[in-house]
Structure formats: structure tokens, C-alpha cells
Amino acid sequence: MLTQLKFVERKNQRDYIHIQSLEGDFNVEHPYWGYSKADGPGRRLWQLGQDLNLSLLTDPRKERALAAVCCDTTTDLSCCHSSLVSDHYVLTIQVRTSPCTPRPHTARHTEWDAFRERRLHCDHSVIDSRLAHLCAARTGLNNLWHKRRHNRRLRRRIAHVNLGTALLGALRSVGLQANLASPPPPPRPASAKSVARQQLERVIPAHPGDTSSLMADLAAKYFQLLPPGPPFTPSCLLLRGPQPRAGRRHHGSGGLRGIT
């Protein structure tokens, strides 16, 4: 770069040359472009810029030259003629690029009035006790889970409570209640206690008589009772004494004992 600088100086001394711009990586120092002191090549470059009426385009602040860990000794300098950046000689740069389509962006606006109209208010003044209990149990288990995350038993309890909460909320829904009320479930076998109780509840209001007549009809149908009258007593009772053993003789006044 110094060789080219000497060539420019010689050409400037011989005849007039019109230099519009000067750029390069000069290892020279001068306070005009940010250094604290000036050396010989730096003074020569500065003098050449003054002779050619060049203006410095590089930022001469010290932070640019001294911002690194070590002092910057290879400052990039760019100088141009004073008339190059004037109103009559404006620098223009043309860059050909493909047309860019803007990214579509839809703004989201919430209609709070419509939202308030669509809100559903519950008719009950208090919450269901079972649902409140499940919500409280779930909150307590979640707070306990944050302290003991790796407890498998605790995770199972949380999953069980979540399932119960979901099922109870589903049962409270209007659609599920309508589905449950439309077709009746198939009846259970006749041997079940609940079916017998339901049949008895239907028989009692349908019986024309009172309770005593109903009990008499049920007893006559399902129990084999004796006809009314005096209790049965046997007419005679035969009592026998102890019989002699085989092969043993009894000595006495007679043979066999009489019947008493």
C-alpha cells in the first residue's frame, strides 16, 4: 500500500490527476482517523488527502480502533472527493432482488359483548358437594405431587381422581342425561333382590284389598299351610321297654316282660 501511495504522490507531483475515492487497509496512524499519535506514513497519507481534497468516510472514534483486546493497527480507511457526496454527485446503489410478498397477518379482536351474551349462568347457588370434594382432592394431590413427583402410588391416585372428576362432569351434562333417559336399561334377572323389590312395589298398590288379605293371598300361593282347626295330636302312643340282648337268658317269674 505504501508503494501505491508513493506512486500516487509522484503522479500528483508531475501532473494533475483527479482522484474520486481512495480505499484500502493502511497500517498507518494519525489522529485524523482515530489514533492517539501520528507516524510518518500516517502524516504522508493525511497530507495527500488534503492535497487531493479528500474527505474521510471512516468513523474516527477511538472505540473503533481500540475496542479489541489489543490495539487495532490495520484500520480500514475510505476517502472520497468532497463533491462526490454533494447534491450534484449523489452516490446511488442499485440492487436487483426478486419481488417479496408480505406475510399475511390477521389481527385477532375479541368481541367481549358477544362473549358476555354467550356465557351460561348456573341456576344453583352452590356447587355440588361431590364435585367440590373431587376438585379439592385433585388440588391437594397436585400440590403434593410437586414435592414427590417420582411417587408411583401418588400418580395413580391423581389419575383416579381425574377420572372421577371427568366422569362426574360428563354425568352433569345435558346431552348425556338425555341419552340415559331415552331408552330404559334391560331388566335384570328375576332372581335379583332389586327386581323382587320392584315387583313387590308394583303389586302392593295394584292389590284391591287391604294388607291382611294381601298377606293371606301370598301365603296361599307361596306357602303350603294347614287348614285352620285344633292342633294335631296322636291318638295312642306305644311305649316299649328295653329289649333283651340276643344270646342272653333272663331268669325270673315269667318269660317276657309285659307291656306297661
Tens digits of residue pLDDT in 35-49: 888 888 888 888 888
Q: How confident is the model at residue 238 (pLDDT cuts 50, 70, 90)?
A: very low
Please give the pLDDT value at position 14: 59
Q: Output the 3-class SS for 13-41.
A: HHCCCCCCEEEEEECCCCHHHCCCCCCHH
- The residue-averaged pLDDT of 215-244 equals 62
Q: How far apart are the first and last CA of the chain?
A: 162
Residue 96, all three cell numbers: 436487483
How does pLDDT run across 110-122, given as a tens digit for each residue?
888 877 776 655 5
Q: Output the 3-class SS for 41-86.
A: HHHHHHHHHHHCCEEECCCCCHHHHHCCCCCCCCEEEEEEECCCCC
Please give the pLDDT value at position 34: 80
Spatial contact of 177 and 146, defined as CB atoms under 8 Å apart:
no
How does pLDDT run across 77-104, given as a tens digit for each residue?
877 776 665 666 666 777 777 777 777 7
Please give the pLDDT value at position 24: 78
Query: What is the pTM (predicted TM-score) of this model?
Result: 0.29
The residues spanned by each domain of the chain are: 2-81, 128-176
User: Does residue 75 or residue 156 have the better pLDDT?
Assistant: 156
Cβ neighbours, 10 Å, residue 214: 14
Please work out, in degrees rounded to the nearest 5, the angle formed at the alpha carbon of residue 87 by the alpha carbons of 82 and 92: 90
Q: How confident is the model at residue 59 (pLDDT cuts 50, 70, 90)?
A: confident
* Long-range pairs, 246-254, Cβ under 8 A, ≥24: none
- The residue-averaged pLDDT of 158-163 equals 80
Q: How confident is the model at residue 75 (pLDDT cuts 50, 70, 90)?
A: low
User: Does residue 259 or residue 120 have the better pLDDT?
Assistant: 120
Q: How confident is the model at residue 73 (pLDDT cuts 50, 70, 90)?
A: very low
Does the pLDDT value for residue 236 go beyond 50?
no
Please give the pLDDT value at position 253: 46
Cβ neighbours, 10 Å, residue 77: 20
Please give the pLDDT value at position 36: 83
Percent of the chain exceeding pLDDT 70 equals 54
